[in-house]
Structure 1
Amino acid sequence: MAQIIDGKKMSAKILEQVSVDVDEFKERYGITPGLAVVLVGEDPASQVYVRNKVRRATEVGIRSFEHRLAANVSQEKLDSIVDELNRNPEVHGILVQLPLPANLDEDKIVDAIDPKKDVDGFHSLNVAALATGKPGLVPCTPQGGMTMLQETLGDLTGKHAVVIGRSNIVGKPMAALLLQANCTVTMVHSRTRDIAMLCRQADIVIAAVGSPKLVTAEWIKPGATVIDVGINAISVEGARKLVGDVDFATVEAVAGAITPVPGGVGPMTIANLMQNTLKAARLQQPD
């Protein structure tokens, strides 16, 4: 049976350190790091994510600023709120919860955020920095996945990693981080031929497509490490259940290590958001 990579335990350790580092930052600069979270609409999943992020921020000593807007808010109004947060010296990190309603331009909003306050790591300048190996704010979920891999496997040099999914939020930045760690990286997606065959060659499989239980045991090389980024709500005997992109029950018997859903990458995402907020606050200090 595979080793279970415990995201709750790892994230708790990260948050404990962030709390210590926040106290040191406050003592040095006399400033409390601030995180602004903007939520548009009533999407239930987004509301849960925002609530968890605000709670974690409070726990580690980060001040939170919440902006909850109606789903029909205008682009101009949202733009003005982001501009106001960019200019607010008490706000060091800005997160606009995605997805946004269809009437709003996500790309425009993301690139309207000051890159130094872009704690999601989605701004074009931060994306470019990651792609070219330069310093910047890195997306929280891929960063969490990398921490899990390095804690589990140590040095990743020379390992073959297959990333399933090519999204800007997870797939592409995950591939960039793996390349920086000296992995050989293969990206597969909906147009790739014989995905299962490619996955079976991998030492590391990252599943990030939003397709419930897509990855089965037949896709996994014995002993491979599997990071399941998917969070999908399905109905099981009339009850709502969260499952990943990996068929955990079958893959666990083949893999060397695997993340569960829930309790895997999810907690790491929020822990890394707190890290990014503190990092952003440091970047904005004169020294």
Structure 2
Amino acid sequence: MRIAVTGASGRVGGRVVELLAAGREHEVVPLTRPTTDYADPVSLRMALTGVDTLVFVSSDGHAATVMLHHANVVRAAAEAEVAHVVALSGLDIDVDSPFCYAVTNGHTEDLLRASGCGYSLARASVYTEFFASLVRGALRPGAGGDEVRLPAGDARVSLVARADVARSLAALALLPPSNTHHDLTGPAAPTVAEIVAAVEPGARYVDVSPAEYLTALLDGGETSWWAHAYATMLESIHLGRWATVSGDVAALTSRLPRRSTVAQQVLTQ
């Protein structure tokens, strides 16, 4: 097969390329900017001509821009008659969700279903490494010691390592289209307090309002868009939208995720 991978210079896309190229059984085509531009339908269509399978690692940036980019990719895949699109999505695809990217994920999935291409939807949970960075960024000194102040309540979240997501995407690329979704999660869904204890031992988790968290991000120099994205994701976590635990990673890769506990995951990044 000829397999193309978008976002091939990123941590997930780059690892997918390495995994697929290791077997040397298929032609792997890394797609990176500026040669292949999400905003340029012509370059996308040219890049996908002759491709059998596309591993579509999602774009980033403002939600409206991401939605446009994804529409361009799906249209180009359909016009190039790509037989199978493996698309990285998220657990939260509900248009009523507070999370700013939930609507882009849901819209992209709808476009793929209507595209005429075979597809496999990889709905990943929150990356372990990313959430650990949010915890560390929310660490503040308090009257009784260090505190991690996040607006997530007592919610649970099934963190998944980026490496396991990449392995699952590579596995899906080598299979026929499933024409359904696969939930890529960790083996458990600990509470936010348990995750905080693993990332910052000795720090106390404090649930705060979204407004307080957003203000702290902006005061710390975060851009308005990313502050909004982080705050809405945590609000979505608070609502329990990222607590799903699935065995799909193990089923796709024929072995359990590499790290069995949250502490092992976050402390070895």
TM-score range, shorter chain: 0.3 to 0.5
TM-score after normalising by structure 1: 0.36
